[in-house]
Amino acid sequence: MIMIPKSHPRYHSLIQREKLVEGVKKGITAMQGLIAHGRGEMFDYVLGEKTHDFAWEAERVAVAMMLLAKRPVISVNGNTAVLVPEELVKLSNILNAPLEVNVFHFSVERVRRIAEYLESFGAKVLAGCDAELKGLEHGRRIVDSRGIMIADVVLVPLEDGDRCEVLKRHGKMVIAIDLNPLSRTARMADVTIVDNIIRAIPNMIEIAEELRQSNRAELEKIVHSYDNREILRRAVEAIRDNLTEKAKELLEL
Ligand code: PTJ
C-alpha cells in the first residue's frame, strides 16, 4: 500500500481505494469492483459524503428486521470484505447472523480467499457453495445450503439487481446497501440503505447494540410503517438539493 499523508484532504477516500487495490492484488476483490466503487464514490460525493436521516431510518429498520428474523444472513462480496472486515464480524456477532461469501465474479478460489480473509478477523464464514438459487444464471446463484438458501432476511451490500429480484421470488426479505438510489437493486429491495458501506455497517452496529434489548413488539413497531419508496424519493431529493446548493455556491464565488 502506498503511503498517504493523513493531511491529504481526501485521505479517507484514498485509503478506501488503496484497500480495494490491495484486495485485487490478493485475489479478493474483482477488477470490476474498482469500477463499481468509482460509481459509488460519485453518488457519495453528490450526497455530501454523510449519513442522511433517511439512511439512519433505513439502517434502524434493517437492524430491527434482522433481529426479528429466524435466519438472517449477511452476504459478503469482494468489495465489502476488504472495506469493512472487522465491522462485518462485529455486526454478524451482535445480530447472530452468519456471514456468507457470495460473489458475482465467481470462482472457488476467490470464494476461498474471501472466506480466509474474513476468518483472519475472527469470523465464522459460510462458503459451502453447495446449493443453487433457481432463476439466476451467473455466479451469485451459487450459495450455501445452511445460509442464503434457507434465510428469511438477507443483507446484501453492493448488489447487482437481478439477484435481489430472485431472492425476493424465493420469498426472502432483502435489505440492500447501495449509494445509488436509482439502481434496480435499490428499487427491488424491501429496505434500501442509501449510504456508504463504510458508514452504514458501523451505524448498524451502534443501532444493534441499542435495539438488541428490545422485545419483539418494539421491533415490530419500528418495521411496521416503513415505506422504502419514500426513503428512495428522499435520497433522490437530497442529491437534487445538494447540487442546487453547490450551484448557488459557484455563483457566490
Ligand atoms: O465481488 P463480486 O464478484 O460480487 O463483485 C462485486 C461488484 C460490486 C463488482 C458487483 O456486485 C457489481 O458489479 O455491482 P454493481 O452492479 O456495479 O453495483 C454496485 C453498486 O454498489 C452500485 O450501485 C454502486 O453505486 C454501489 N456502491 C459502490 N461502492 C459502494 C456502493 N454502495 C455503498 N457503499 C459503497 N462503498
Ligand 1 center to 3 CA (angstroms):
26
β-sheet bridge partners, residue 132: 142
Q: Could you tell me which residues come within 8 angstroms of residue 219 by beta carbon, excluding any fewer than 6 positions away?
A: 64, 67, 68, 211
Write out the three cell numbers for 67. Answer: 433481529
DSSP code at position 132: E
**What is residue 51's predicted lDDT score, i.e. its pLDDT?**
98
**What is residue 3's predicted lDDT score, i.e. its pLDDT?**
81
Residue 247 near residue 209 (C-beta atoms within 8 A): no
Residue 77 near residue 104 (C-beta atoms within 8 A): yes
Ligand 1 center to 119 CA (angstroms):
22
Residue 208 near residue 155 (C-beta atoms within 8 A): no
DSSP three-state, residue 192: strand
- Say yes or no to pLDDT of 160 above 80: no
Residue 155 near residue 66 (C-beta atoms within 8 A): yes
**What is residue 159's predicted lDDT score, i.e. its pLDDT?**
82
**What is residue 233's predicted lDDT score, i.e. its pLDDT?**
98
Write out the three cell numbers for 147. Answer: 445460509
- Say yes or no to pLDDT of 11 above 90: no
Please give the single-letter amino acid code of residue 116. E
Write out the three cell numbers for 65. Answer: 428486521
pTM: 0.96
Q: How far is CA 134 from CA 46, 166, 175, 238, in A?
A: 37, 8, 20, 37
- pLDDT (tens digit, 9 = 90+) per residue, 201-242? 999 999 999 999 999 999 999 999 899 999 999 999 999 999
Q: How far apart are CA 84 and CA 20, in angstroms?
A: 11
**What is residue 237's predicted lDDT score, i.e. its pLDDT?**
98
Ligand 1 center to 185 CA (angstroms):
10
Lowest average pLDDT, out of 82-91, 132-141, 233-242, goes to 132-141
Q: Are strands 142-143 and 72-76 parallel, antiparallel or unpaired?
A: unpaired
Q: Give residues (CB < 6 A) around ligand 1.
A: 30, 32-33, 36-37, 39-40, 43, 77-79, 103-105, 158, 160, 177-180, 183, 196-197
Ligand 1 probe mutation, 74, 158, 163, 201, most atoms within 8 A of CB: 158
Q: What share of the chain is helix, strand, coil (3-state, %, to 5)?
A: 55, 10, 30
- Say yes or no to pLDDT of 41 above 90: yes
Q: Is residue 150 classed exposed, middle or buried when 0-12, 13-18 and 19+ CB atoms within 10 A define those classes?
A: middle
